[in-house]
Amino acid sequence: MDDESSIFAKNSQIQNKEFSSLADLVVVIGGDGTLLGAARKYHKHDLPILGINMGSVGFLTEVTVNNFEDAIISILNGDYEVEERSLVSASFDGRIIHAVNEIVVHSGSYTQLMRYKLSANGNVVYEKRSDGLIISTTTGSTAYALSAGGPIVHPSIDAFTVLPMLSQSLSSRPFIISSDKSLSISLIGGSSDMGMICADGQDDISIPYLTDIKISRVKKTLKLIHLKNNDFFEACREKLGWSLDISNPK
């Protein structure tokens, strides 16, 4: 690296460190995945986030490119609301990972089961064999958890949804529990050498069997900027097709 490149890299690093203390608002342009990455990075600094939707769904990035200018003007005029969303954390082997949508513990291989025990506040909930387990926040109820058959939970409810993935038990059902509860997942065994854990669909982390994973709510919340006309049910109608007339698909 030449001297000029070295100076630029050093200045960029300084700017990144100072950004959180200088900024009042983080504007994220992209899809929900882009916003999730920014949320994990900046939520601990209490910086509110505004999402500009460039993706295909966009439950979190509600402002579109077409109404971006009007949205920014409204926000600068104070015509907005700040909504706080809870995050979920998983601690294991001296590590802690945070997620906006969900923590997923899985066997690490398609069509292969793992065995685990789930407890809540020290009380055993069940022991199962399945492909894995999803612990979803309210925010994540319209993401991967929805695809896995979980319920849609209104953002005003502070809870976790627990969903076994392709369980061997026919009586296996998702359930909702207060996020005040502390959950524990004990990995018992599986067909692979190790299990896997990931946050918000990011890179899988290998985790040895006979490891206990502690699941809990993150103390600091994610602050999302909404325009005052924001409506969760309108987003559901638009993104999930709730308003489609099945008698007239066109």
**Catalytic residue chosen out of the listed positions 2, 3, 24, 32:** 32
Contact of 28 with 34, CB cutoff 8 Å: yes
CA distance 37 to 202: 9
CA torsion 201→204→209→211, rounded to 10°?
A: -70
To the nearest 10°, report the CA torsion of 60, 47, 221, 28: 20
Q: What is the rounded distance in angstroms from the CA atom of residue 45 to the CA atom of residue 20?
A: 6
Residue among 124, 122, 128, 152 at smallest CA distance from 59: 152
Q: Is 2 a residue of the active site? A: no
Q: Which residue is it, tokens 């058959």?
A: 149
Q: Helices in 84-231 by DSSP H: which ranges?
A: 144-147
- Dihedral sign of CA atoms 153, 155, 160, 164 in order: positive
Find tokens 């069940």 and name the residue: 126
Catalytic residue set:
32
